[in-house]
Structure 1
Amino acid sequence: MNYDQIAELLGADAKKLLEHKSTTIDKSKLHLPGPDFIDRVFYHTNRKPQVLRNLQATFNHGRLGGTGYLSLLPVDQGIEHSAGASFAPNPDYFDPENIVKLAIEGGTNGVASTIGVLAAVSRKYAHKIPFIVKLNHNELLTYPNTYDQIMFGSVEEAYELGAMGVGATIYFGSEDSNRQIQEVAAAFERAHELGMYTVLWCYLRNSEFKRDQDYHTAADLTGQANHIGVTIQADIIKQKLPTNNGGFKAIKFGKTHDKVYSELTSDNPIDLTRYQVANNYMGRAGLINSGGASKGESDLADAVTTAVVNKRAGGTGLISGRKAFQKPMKEGVKLLNAIQDVYLEEQIDIA
């Protein structure tokens, strides 16, 4: 997919997204993705050589290998959203092997999934594509549901099955967030000791975040979640694309500053996403935005739009699951390749 085809998919938003010039946080202040990202940024951290090796191996894998960008396939929805809701549209993906096959055929940098999925095929595939083991989940059989993230496996199990990285979710703002922060911080410390990198799903979860709008995807609130995430040494942050701003003002809780809204952000989604990047220590930890739910015919355009916003904001890539695996494999591969084409297209630059 070339620049013109990407512009066509963006439709009416093409000019707003492709020609936007950011006047909020200048790109010169960001630690931007690139082929030398590990040497330029992570080399100076406390991460062990084994962590750097596994990070570099992941950045070097797939169609985006050597660019400094990431395209990841996440399939933890069998727990997070129930197996029926996730895999009924394409029952082939009840079989873990097809999940890994899609990641390989789709040219991704790696596959992130449950400890059970990856353990089921680890001996066959752990040396063929980077594995990221998702350690905790929100199970949906407890009634009423508690919306809590609990550990399903250990860092040691992830290490033994050949994972290069581990992932976890924290529901920031939830009743159980303090415990989750402590659990995940300890797990990430152990992962780094064993030479694995860490990926944090930085999600918000609190009914009070829904006011006149749903502020679970507000730039200011998600940015703060990111900032806590990098504080516990997440190497990569997974976050939803921001859809609005002013969450702190709406919920009338916590602390913020007027400059967050008057100088550091604008209404353009690229600038809202750049604020997320800024909270990742100005990009020292990569920001990957999530692809979101499958909506059918608009999936390709939606995924490409998210990729353009993430790239021009200074983000590190996209992690897209349901839009890819709830389709026949050939269509899923096409969608993943379209996302990658955005990051390979040199005309799409940092705003």
Structure 2
Amino acid sequence: MNTGFERIKELLGKDEEYYLGHQSKTFDKKLLHLPSADFVDEIFVNSNRSPQVLRNLAGLFNHGRLAGSGYLSILPVDQGIEHSAGSAFAPNPVYFDPENIIRLAMEAGCNGVATTMGTLGMIARKYAHKIPFVAKINHNELLTYPNKHEQIMFGSVENAWNLGAAAVGATIYFGSEGSNRQIIEVSEAFERAHELGMATILWCYTRNSGFKKDGKNYETAADLTGQANHLGVTLQADIIKQKLPTHNGGFTSINFGKSHPDMYDKLSSSHPIDLCRYQVANCYMGRIGLINSGGASSGEDDLQEAVKTAVVNKRAGGMGLIMGRKAFQRPMDKGVELLNTIQDVYLSKEIDVA
């Protein structure tokens, strides 16, 4: 008996058939480039990525519990800047010490750890050779009043390379007032990262107060996030990070941009797996892997919600999860357990692509 799979079914509970039984009728899965043990050889060897970039990508794919599967489990901890250190670490103050962030990623068997330049720089000599670093080079800090959606550079690509990073990560707030500047800055940074041999991961978020209408926040609509992904792969991100879509129809509800009825009637549906598959399709049909974020910690339901997110991502054709707050805002052993359970979704052969 596959105890990991049985545990996953137990956590899905009454929703087991909804998530595990769904078969997508939107994009045929045969059209997708799915994660596999030889994903780097099949996809990136034919690209313009250098041997050094291929080596670092392979280092990410071949580390931790998911090594050799083609899937990724990354621990992201940048909330100390993005949300304030107090709000992020108050539930578990040990993470004010950056070494514990690295320890959590290692003990949980993550493929890599994505965090700030300061965190990585503080412990680089001790851990850079033990787990792949993803150095986050820009952030939205919330000490400015009033708060605004403004990603600014906190470090250089050269510094990320010097501290031993395998990849750099950056965020663009597509749709925000500063998005043009962010696109230019990140494009230049990613070009330089590839020159130095590092992989690139882009947080493709949408931000604009105008994306909220009639009580709905279309910043997580499949059509808007899908287009953000398409912009991200155009910038030559090697991996796309995106929030799981919650609904659809941003372009039509807000009445802007360009859309087509088939986007909603044929290429997607209301099912979360189909909404996520639309995101995957916008990542060059999976040639660039989609990792979905885990979202905020809500307490008792975190494990169930994390498993559902992982099942949706995997069955849609995604490449894994980048899960932070649900893991580090609890005791370390519980955080390890949560991350391991998510990883079991990707290790489970019973859970296939819809």
- Judge same fold: TM > 0.5, yes or no: yes
Q: 1:5 Cα deviation (Å)?
A: 1.8
Distance in 2 (alpha carbons) for counterparts of 1:209 and 1:5: 38
Counterpart of 2:327 in structure 1: which amino acid? A
Q: Give the match for residue 288 of structure 1.
A: 291
Distance in 2 (alpha carbons) for counterparts of 1:80 and 1:249: 31
Q: Give the match for residue 250 of structure 2.
A: 247
Distance in 1 (alpha carbons) for counterparts of 2:254 and 2:270: 19
Counterpart of 1:335 in structure 2: which amino acid? L
Distance in 2 (alpha carbons) for counterparts of 1:178 and 1:211: 24
Which of 318, 325, 328 is equivalent to 1:315? 318
Partner SS, residue 203 of structure 2? strand
Partner SS, residue 60 of structure 2? helix
Structure 2 runs not aligned, ≥5 long: none
Q: 1:145 Cα deviation (Å)?
A: 1.5
**What does the per-residue CA deviation read over 1:162-182, in whole Å, with 9 as the maximum and x for residues that have no partner?**
000000000011000000000
Q: Give the match for residue 60 of structure 2.
A: 58
Q: 1:146 Cα deviation (Å)?
A: 2.1
Q: 1:10 Cα deviation (Å)?
A: 1.2
Structure 1 runs not aligned, ≥5 long: none
Counterpart of 1:84 in structure 2: which amino acid? G
Partner SS, residue 108 of structure 1? coil
Instruction: Tell whether the 8 Å contact from 2:4 to 2:341 is kept in structure 1 after alignment.
Output: no
Q: Give the match for residue 342 of structure 2.
A: 339
**What does the per-residue CA deviation read over 1:300-331, in whole Å, with 9 as the maximum and x for residues that have no partner?**
00100000000000000000000000111000
Q: Give the match for residue 83 of structure 2.
A: 81
Q: Give the match for residue 194 of structure 1.
A: 196
TM-score (norm 2): 0.98
Distance in 2 (alpha carbons) for counterparts of 1:238 and 1:143: 28
Equivalences for 1:226-237 in 2 at 5 Å?
226-237=229-240
Partner SS, residue 241 of structure 2? strand
Which of 330, 333, 337 is equivalent to 1:330? 333
Q: Which moved more, 1:3-12 or 1:35-44?
A: 3-12
Partner SS, residue 229 of structure 2? helix
Counterpart of 1:18 in structure 2: which amino acid? L
Distance in 2 (alpha carbons) for counterparts of 1:295 and 1:145: 23
Equivalences for 1:81-160 in 2 at 5 Å?
81-160=83-162
Counterpart of 1:270 in structure 2: which amino acid? I
Q: Give the match for residue 273 of structure 2.
A: 270
Which of 197, 209, 213 is equivalent to 1:211? 213
Q: Give the match for residue 221 of structure 1.
A: 224
Q: 1:2 Cα deviation (Å)?
A: 2.1
Q: Give the match for residue 173 of structure 1.
A: 175
Distance in 1 (alpha carbons) for counterparts of 2:18 and 2:327: 26
Instruction: Tell whether the 8 Å contact from 2:64 to 2:109 is kept in structure 1 after alignment.
Output: yes
Q: 1:334 Cα deviation (Å)?
A: 0.2
**What does the per-residue CA deviation read over 1:7-27, in whole Å, with 9 as the maximum and x for residues that have no partner?**
121122211110111110001
Counterpart of 2:96 in structure 1: which amino acid? F
Q: 1:251 Cα deviation (Å)?
A: 0.7
Please list every run of at least 4 consecutive aligned residues from structure 1 whose deviation after the TM superposition is greater than 2 angstroms: none
| Count of aligned positions | 351
Distance in 1 (alpha carbons) for counterparts of 2:300 and 2:75: 20
Q: 1:292 Cα deviation (Å)?
A: 0.3
Distance in 2 (alpha carbons) for counterparts of 1:9 and 1:247: 32
Distance in 1 (alpha carbons) for counterparts of 2:211 and 2:328: 30
Equivalences for 1:62-73 in 2 at 5 Å?
62-73=64-75
**What does the per-residue CA deviation read over 1:53-77, in whole Å, with 9 as the maximum and x for residues that have no partner?**
0000110000000000000000000
Partner SS, residue 66 of structure 2? coil
Partner SS, residue 159 of structure 1? helix
Distance in 2 (alpha carbons) for counterparts of 1:280 and 1:73: 22
Q: 1:3 Cα deviation (Å)?
A: 1.8
Partner SS, residue 2 of structure 1? helix
Q: Give the match for residue 28 of structure 1.
A: 30
Partner SS, residue 104 of structure 1? helix
**What does the per-residue CA deviation read over 1:323-349, in whole Å, with 9 as the maximum and x for residues that have no partner?**
000111000000000000000000000
Distance in 1 (alpha carbons) for counterparts of 2:130 and 2:38: 23
Distance in 1 (alpha carbons) for counterparts of 2:207 and 2:273: 24
